[in-house]
Amino acid sequence: MTETIVRSPRLAPRSGSRRVVLLALVGGGAAFLSAGLIWLSRLWDPTVHYVSQLGATGMPTAPVFNSALLLLGIAAVLVDRAILHRPDVYVVGWPIAATLVVCGACFALASVVTCSPGCPVPFTPGALPQDLIHISAAVLGFVLAIVAMAQVSVLRRRPWMRAASLATLVAVGLTSFIGAMLALFRGDTVLGGNLEFIAATLAIAWFGVFGLQVAADERVTRAGAPATVYP
């Protein structure tokens, strides 16, 4: 009785693979740079409690902060472009790329339509239509970021990335929810602001790490060995 040994075929380098690696690397780097600029803005004016206030009309930190928010939107779209060519891998319910591109568009919109001075909560005295647009876009962007984390957390690749995505989405979800409740019910603004900055930093860092992981997986595949897939 003869034994048949089946070997996994080596994958030939795909056309455009270098472009995919470049998109993922630039997208990941842009996310880290965005986080750095946001913290630079906060160090510039530590009296600001909430993230969006840094980009409000008339704030000296507005140009840097809004550039950082736009950069985050660009980062999400670049990573989206990088994974778009692998619909067989980066799909959980629907393509992760679709989540990322809408997420990026939301952050880009929030960077263009900024808060009015003081960044009041929508539908409260002094709030303007631009506050509703900005807050809605920013909140939807972070919700979609959490959705993307949830999708990656059940993706059949890289157990450490799955675990990191799950831990990040739980941390971002809890800190942002508590911060939002404190802001809505006029609670401890210092604590609420710190929690919001922590949530934003974790979410943005996740984009950076995911972009770098996509680039690493693509390099492995290009070298002729498929990226490790786990059950």
| More confident position, 230 or 37 | 37
The total number of residues written for the chain in this structure: 231
Q: How far apart are the first and last CA of the chain?
A: 31
Q: How confident is the model at residue 224 (pLDDT cuts 50, 70, 90)?
A: low
User: Of 28, 76, 68, 73, which is closest to residue 44 (Cα–Cα)?
Assistant: 68
pTM: 0.80
37 closest CA partner among 3, 78, 69, 13: 69
The domain limits of the chain are: 17-222
Question: pLDDT by residue (tens digit) across 60-112?
Answer: 888 999 999 999 999 999 999 888 877 677 888 888 999 999 999 999 999 99
CA distance 76 to 33: 13
Query: Residues 118-153: pLDDT tens digits?
Result: 777 777 787 888 889 998 998 899 889 999 999 988
Q: Is the dihedral of CA 49, 52, 54, 58 positive or negative?
A: negative
One-letter amino acid at 129 equals: P
